[in-house]
Structure 1
Amino acid sequence: MGTILSSTGEHLVGLKQAAGLELGTPVQYPVYTVLFIPAGEGKFHADFGTFPFSGPTMLFSTPFQTLQLASSSPQAPVMLQFHGDFYCIAYHHNEVSCNGLLFNNVYISPMIGLNNEDVRSIELILSQFEEELRQPSPSETVLQAYLQLLLAKSSSIKLRAMADGCGQAGKDEQMERFRELLDENYLTLHKPNDYADLLAMSPNTFTKRCTRYFKKPPSRLIQERLILEAKKQLHLTRRSIKEIAYALNFEDEFYFSRMFKKFTNVSPQAFRDRTGISIVADLTPQ
């Protein structure tokens, strides 16, 4: 449907129908990815989490997240991708609260369900986005405005769904407490048993409840929370790899690099090179 590249050939923003084979096997992109699936059922594999879905729905992923889509939809999903240099979700957080809601959250599902009205709104924005991309000289300002509108609409839908489910009987207060404890202690407590003790639960019960509630075992959540912080510091600061490793309590930068690559398949430096350093890095003290 259309793509804009940077002067160095990097993918800045693009919209296309995702071919089945492209997402049928695990794949990583150095950009943010939004998938619009108008119909069908399937499973969305994001890193080591598996999320069943039923269309219409939208799925969201961050740079270098491992993705795989197993879908029965007869229609290929629409894929919108953008680089952090094209639209910085951290810089625009006040206008669009998608950072930590649609992207960069290890606890909640990376998707939103859509009703008929939502589908019409999303399809309209995507058609306007596509129309601009088809222009002889697409305006990046116009495309950024459409992208911001899409993310704002998606965030609004996600917040509505979360509010509707706030009083569900399925809410597990102890697992919500685990979420709080992990955010407070991810730098120092790295074992599931540490959190099981804080919650006064047996390790076995804690693992079962966490896996049922978050769709991931606690060991995975603990690792993902640490890697999420590493990604943030690589993208949102100009700290050196050594400084980031020290800030995250790693023994040295080499151990940090090995662990980071184990979970992302790229080194910290390669991640920074491909995703870029956000303009936010120059707006906040290091």
Structure 2
Amino acid sequence: MNKVISENGTLLLGIEKSEINVFNTPLQFGEYTILLISKGEGIYHVDFASFAFKAPAILFSTPQQSISISEIKPVNYTTLQFHGDFYCIEYHRNEVACNGLLFNNIYAEPSIKLSTEQHQLYCVLVDHIIDEIKQPTPSEIVLRSYLQLILAKSSSLKINSDKQNFKKDEKMDQFKILLEENFLTLHKASDYATLLSMTANNFTKQCNKRFNKTPTQMIQERLILEAKKQLHLTRLSIKEIAYVLKFQDEYYFSRVFKKNTKVSPQTFRKTTGISIVADLSK
């Protein structure tokens, strides 16, 4: 892998082209991961959900998500990874609105179908990044600029793609609003089915159809997403975060977090780091 490493050994930016599917078993990374699929097709598994893709396409995952690829046809792809210490997507949200769109989004597929021309653009940017990393003294400013261009382009394509594929579903649109308002206090699918005046079976069916996940999975993901935000974007202690998220104590919070992410809150914070955003309000 072509990579930029920090003084303490952290992978800041890495990029690699491959024709061998190393994602045939679930993997977790401390970095944001972008997969540019140039050939092949398959199923992209991300935590609870699975999404079909066909090249050319681009796939996304956030730190410590469990990701894997089941091939239907052999894939040829490029892996691009970056650490929050190298490029903070929250700090740069005014320039590139990818947080909550490409990453940390439980409501949309973490993928974009590309045209031939769009794929060629990404390939050019990938080659530029590789060429810069191979320089005797790579410029982090140049590398961040190329990465920001990839993220900005992807955000634009994702917005347009979601608009084209959007199908209005009043009940599920209302469920999104209710989940955002109540995920800290309502943890049962039946709570939301009642609020939506839906039977449990119909609620589950409609949720699977719209989000490719069960209501229970959606509720769990939203709570864990908030936990990840608190761990990455604040300097609150684990005990304080457990209190904010309304867990009975930090030990129960840690058990729930590890059950859903396979890593402890401490490990998640250690591998992803604490964002510079955590200190901006001081």
Aligned residue pairs, count: 282
Aligned-partner Cα distance in 2 for 1:178–1:240 = 31
Q: Deviations over 1:151-178 (max 9, x none)?
A: 0000011011122234x4xx32211110
Q: Which residue of 2 aligns with 1:223?
A: 220
Matching residue's letter, 1:243: E
Q: Which residue of 2 aligns with 1:142?
A: 142
Q: Cα 1:19–1:40, aligned 2, differ >3 Å: closer, same or farther? A: closer
Q: Which stretches of structure 1, 4 residues or longer, exceed 4 Å deviation after superposition? A: none
Q: Which residue of 2 aligns with 1:97?
A: 97
Q: 1:60-79 alignment to 2 at 5 Å?
A: 60-79=60-79
Unaligned runs of 5+ in 1: none
The answer on whether the counterparts of 2:43 and 2:72 sit within 8 Å (CA) in structure 1 is: no
Cα RMSD of the aligned pairs, angstroms, is 1.2
Q: Which residue of 2 aligns with 1:133?
A: 133
Q: Deviations over 1:32-63 (max 9, x none)?
A: 00000022211000001000111110000001
Query: Does residue 1:272 correspond to 2:257, yes or no?
Result: no
Query: Does residue 1:24 correspond to 2:42, yes or no?
Result: no
Aligned-partner Cα distance in 1 for 2:127–2:269 = 32
Query: Does residue 1:196 correspond to 2:201, yes or no?
Result: no
Query: Does residue 1:183 correspond to 2:180, yes or no?
Result: yes
The offset of 1:137, in angstroms, is 1.2
Q: Which residue of 2 aligns with 1:113?
A: 113
The answer on whether the counterparts of 2:19 and 2:75 sit within 8 Å (CA) in structure 1 is: no
Q: Which residue of 1 aligns with 2:243?
A: 246
Q: Cα 1:26–1:172, aligned 2, differ >3 Å: closer, same or farther? A: same
Q: Which residue of 2 aligns with 1:152?
A: 152
Query: Does residue 1:82 correspond to 2:82, yes or no?
Result: yes
Q: Which residue of 2 aligns with 1:205?
A: 202
The offset of 1:117, in angstroms, is 2.1
Aligned-partner Cα distance in 1 for 2:217–2:131 = 41
Matching residue's letter, 2:203: F
Q: Cα 1:217–1:7, aligned 2, differ >3 Å: closer, same or farther? A: same
Q: Deviations over 1:56-107 (max 9, x none)?
A: 1000000100000112444531000000000000000000000000000111
Matching residue's letter, 1:16: E
Q: Which residue of 2 aligns with 1:43?
A: 43
Matching residue's letter, 1:172: D
- Which secondary structure does the structure 2 equivalent of 1:277 belong to? coil
Aligned-partner Cα distance in 2 for 1:18–1:32 = 18
Matching residue's letter, 1:27: L
Q: Which residue of 2 aligns with 1:236?
A: 233
- Which secondary structure does the structure 2 equivalent of 1:174 belong to? helix
Q: Deviations over 1:106-138 (max 9, x none)?
A: 110000011122112211111111111111111
Query: What is the TM-score of this pair, normalised by structure 2?
Result: 0.97
Aligned-partner Cα distance in 2 for 1:52–1:176 = 23
Matching residue's letter, 1:17: K
Aligned-partner Cα distance in 2 for 1:274–1:189 = 30
Q: Deviations over 1:198-243 (max 9, x none)?
A: 1000011101110121000000000000000000000000001000
- Which secondary structure does the structure 2 equivalent of 1:76 belong to? strand
Aligned-partner Cα distance in 2 for 1:49–1:20 = 23
Matching residue's letter, 1:254: Y
Q: Deviations over 1:243-262 (max 9, x none)?
A: 00000000000000000011
